[in-house]
Homo-oligomer: A and B are copies of this chain.
Amino acid sequence: MGYYEVEFEPVGRRGKCRDDESVLDCAHRLGVGIVSLCGGRGKFHCCKIQIIKGSVSKPTKSEIEFFSSEELKDGYRLACQTYLKSNCKIKVPLESLTTPQRLQLEGLEIGVKLNPPVKSCDVKLSPPSMVDLRGDDERIMDDLNHQFNLSCRKFDIDVLKNMSSLLRSSRWEARVFVRDNEVVSISSKHSSGLGLAVDLGTTKIAGYLLDLDSGKTLSSSGVMNPQISYGEDIVSRITYAMESPAKKKKLQEVVVNTLNSLTADLCRRANVEKERIVEAVIVGNTVMHHLLLDLPVDQLAVSPFVPAVQNSLDVKSRDIGLNIAPGAYIHLLPNIAGFVGADHVAMLLATERIWKDDDLVIALDIGTNTEVSLIDNGDITSVSCASGPAFEGAHIKDGMRATNGAIERLQLIGDEVKYQTIGKVPPVGLCGSGILDAIAQLYLAGVISRDGKMNDHPRIRFHNNQKEFVLVDEKENGSPAITITQKDVREIQLAKGAIRSGIDVLLQERGHFEQEIKKVIIAGAFGSYINVASAVSIGMLPPLPLNRFQQVGNAAGIGAKLALLSIEERFKAEAIAHRASYIELAASPDFEKIFLRATYLG
């Protein structure tokens, strides 16, 4: 038994590969998520890879049948059929990756030049005496300003409450955290200041705890947005909030409580105290942003839908009740419009290096609300699409969140349904990417027509007065059948129609054709897990070569991290927001026609 060095591209994962394990097994062992529907039998051709450098085993019969000789010459192979014969560099095409998003922007925040808004300064003071009666504030300020060349003039009131006893118990040595000209925290230990980055989504909340000295992410965690109980989408949340000030306040309370437990969880995972968090950045769409701050949302319910707050904002953590260092600020990135918020700005910030040098780019963040931007020579035009929560699994009969047991990949081979579940456990439902694959496969197989109508098929049955396609039947694993109903198809048509019409309106308004698009950047958890080929098949995304699509994961979260680590990134975010103009979809003269067309499959 021998070992070879292997490197997977564009992931950048390196490791050793045994000569008796398939590339697929090696990839899984090294944490590179390659799709595998047949369990390594070479049957479904879903684990396509490309050998860039090095030599491997000869193509098997299954590979020779599947690939053209041209493709084989170019090094295309199936990972489950291939064994290394030397050190190799292997490219994994996007469509073969299960979790491409983790790989595109991961670590981007480490690359940023660290210049966090909060600086840590170590002071060592002479204690007061009868000949040096300066107050504690003056004593620290003098030292700070002389030693670090600052012009610090202010202390947060909560810092002052603990400072005097801290100085006396720590023998007049302390680490002082300074933001602009204000001391926002003080510690007797020399441990680094921490930052909290939050992507506050309509449905999900993702939190990251960062070390501001190293830029490293110490822990990350996700929870559901508890506001869901008061309305699934932003419009129903606005409606609820408008019923009374108390109800609006309630929406703030539940989300702040959840942020507090999320923060506690992040700190527990990293084994640190929450008081060490000296700055937070929270990004969300405009409605999430406003509800978090208990700002009015009434004006978001009527045309022209302008935000109460558009510019970036710094709010003391205590003013919204976030339990971090009491003097810490929460920075909120600017909003572009009433329905294109700071999360989209964060996403554009995180992906700037991807779009800035290209002529025509579409950047979209798919979620319960989907924001789409067309970037045309630096000009940014944005729309907001009410795509709804179907892709989060809601309103879909067997839909579920992307957790263990969810079908995440699915293929129809003849009349046989092959699928892969998260956690490789028996299936219990479909998550967004599985639903998308299912609709695409049924459409491609002709089981669903362009208008979404289900045709006859051996797996089609009537159940509860409605047609449904059985993906997994009752007998298969002794649990209820997993099906796609006619109603599910309609839901997906509306959702994908909302997204596609957003893209189409942008192109029309700016006078472009879809073939001019050089790149489509897809952000958001769902968008990053999907099989782009499926999304193109059903016409959710425009019919472009697959290599023009880039799935970038939770780019909004990455943008929040960047804004946490660098003042320059905040300036960049401001610039992006100022360059962006907003188009109201409903105000576009052809919108209804475009939307109707976009609901058709294909």
Which residues of A are at the interface with B, using a C-beta cutoff of 8 A? 128-130, 133-138, 141, 154-155, 157, 160-165, 168, 293-296, 298-299, 303-311, 313-316, 318-320, 335, 337-338, 582, 584, 587
Instruction: Report whether A319 and B157 are in contact in the complex, using a CB–CB cutoff of 8 Å.
Output: yes
Question: Which residue from chain B places its CB closest to the CB of A303 in the assembled complex?
Answer: B130
CB distance from A362 to the nearest CB of B (A): 21
Instruction: Report whether A160 and B304 are in contact in the complex, using a CB–CB cutoff of 8 Å.
Output: no
With contacts A165-B298, A296-B164 taken as known, whether A138 is within 8 angstroms of B310 at the C-beta atoms is yes
With contacts A133-B582, A306-B133, A309-B137 taken as known, whether A315 is within 8 angstroms of B157 at the C-beta atoms is yes
Question: What 9 A-B pairs have minimum CB-CB distances, sorted nearest first?
Answer: A135-B310, A135-B307, A164-B308, A164-B296, A128-B306, A138-B310, A137-B309, A136-B308, A130-B304
Instruction: Report whether B137 and A311 are in contact in the complex, using a CB–CB cutoff of 8 Å.
Output: yes
CB distance from A167 to the nearest CB of B (A): 9
Which B residues touch A303, using CB under 8 A?
130
Question: Which residue from chain B places its CB closest to the CB of A299 in the assembled complex?
Answer: B164
Q: Given the complex of chains A and B, what is the CA–CA distance between A444 and B422 in angstroms?
A: 101
Instruction: Report whether A155 and B309 are in contact in the complex, using a CB–CB cutoff of 8 Å.
Output: yes
Instruction: Report whether A164 and B337 are in contact in the complex, using a CB–CB cutoff of 8 Å.
Output: no
Q: Given the complex of chains A and B, what is the CA–CA distance between A515 and B255 in angstroms?
A: 71
Which B residues touch A141, using CB under 8 A?
311
Instruction: Report whether A306 and B157 are in contact in the complex, using a CB–CB cutoff of 8 Å.
Output: no
Question: Which residue from chain B places its CB closest to the CB of A306 in the assembled complex?
Answer: B128
Partner of A314, one of B138, B154, B296, B316: B154
Which B residues touch A335, using CB under 8 A?
135
Instruction: Report whether A295 and B133 are in contact in the complex, using a CB–CB cutoff of 8 Å.
Output: no
Instruction: Report whether A135 and B168 are in contact in the complex, using a CB–CB cutoff of 8 Å.
Output: no
CB distance from A593 to the nearest CB of B (A): 20
Which B residues touch A136, using CB under 8 A?
299, 306-310
Instruction: Report whether B128 and A304 are in contact in the complex, using a CB–CB cutoff of 8 Å.
Output: yes
Instruction: Report whether B133 and A309 are in contact in the complex, using a CB–CB cutoff of 8 Å.
Output: no
Instruction: Report whether A137 and B310 are in contact in the complex, using a CB–CB cutoff of 8 Å.
Output: yes
Which B residues touch A308, using CB under 8 A?
135-137, 160, 163-164
CB distance from A410 to the nearest CB of B (A): 42
Q: Given the complex of chains A and B, what is the CA–CA distance between A155 and B308 in angstroms?
A: 11
Instruction: Report whether B134 and A299 are in contact in the complex, using a CB–CB cutoff of 8 Å.
Output: no
Q: Which of A157, A293, A303, A319 has the largest count of B CB atoms less than 10 A from its CB?
A: A157
Q: Given the complex of chains A and B, what is the CA–CA distance between A133 and B337 in angstroms?
A: 7
Instruction: Report whether A306 and B135 are in contact in the complex, using a CB–CB cutoff of 8 Å.
Output: yes
Return 9 A-B CB contacts under 8 Å, by A number. Answer: A135-B306, A135-B308, A136-B299, A136-B310, A138-B310, A157-B319, A157-B320, A160-B309, A161-B296
Instruction: Report whether A306 and B161 are in contact in the complex, using a CB–CB cutoff of 8 Å.
Output: no
Q: Which of A134, A135, A163, A295 has the largest count of B CB atoms less than 10 A from its CB?
A: A135
Question: Which residue from chain B places its CB closest to the CB of A293 in the assembled complex?
Answer: B157
Question: Which residue from chain B places its CB closest to the CB of A587 in the assembled complex?
Answer: B130
Q: Given the complex of chains A and B, what is the CA–CA distance between A320 and B308 in angstroms?
A: 27
Question: Which residue from chain B places its CB closest to the CB of A297 in the assembled complex?
Answer: B164
Instruction: Report whether B133 and A296 are in contact in the complex, using a CB–CB cutoff of 8 Å.
Output: no
With contacts A168-B299, A304-B129 taken as known, whether A294 is within 8 angstroms of B134 at the C-beta atoms is no
Which B residues touch A163, using CB under 8 A?
296, 308
CB distance from A268 to the nearest CB of B (A): 26
Instruction: Report whether A296 and B137 are in contact in the complex, using a CB–CB cutoff of 8 Å.
Output: no
Q: Given the complex of chains A and B, what is the CA–CA distance between A129 and B305 in angstroms?
A: 9
Which B residues touch A157, using CB under 8 A?
293, 313, 315-316, 319-320
Which B residues touch A129, using CB under 8 A?
304
With contacts A133-B304, A303-B130, A304-B130 taken as known, whether A160 is within 8 angstroms of B293 at the C-beta atoms is yes
Which B residues touch A133, using CB under 8 A?
304-306, 337-338, 582
With contacts A165-B296, A311-B141, A314-B154 taken as known, whether A306 is within 8 angstroms of B160 at the C-beta atoms is no
With contacts A319-B157, A587-B130 taken as known, whether A164 is within 8 angstroms of B298 at the C-beta atoms is yes
Q: Given the complex of chains A and B, what is the CA–CA distance between A168 and B154 in angstroms?
A: 36
18 additional A-B residue pairs with CB within 8 Å, beyond A135-B308, A136-B309, A161-B296: A128-B304, A130-B303, A133-B304, A133-B337, A134-B306, A135-B307, A135-B310, A136-B299, A137-B311, A154-B314, A155-B313, A160-B295, A161-B293, A161-B294, A162-B296, A163-B308, A164-B295, A318-B319
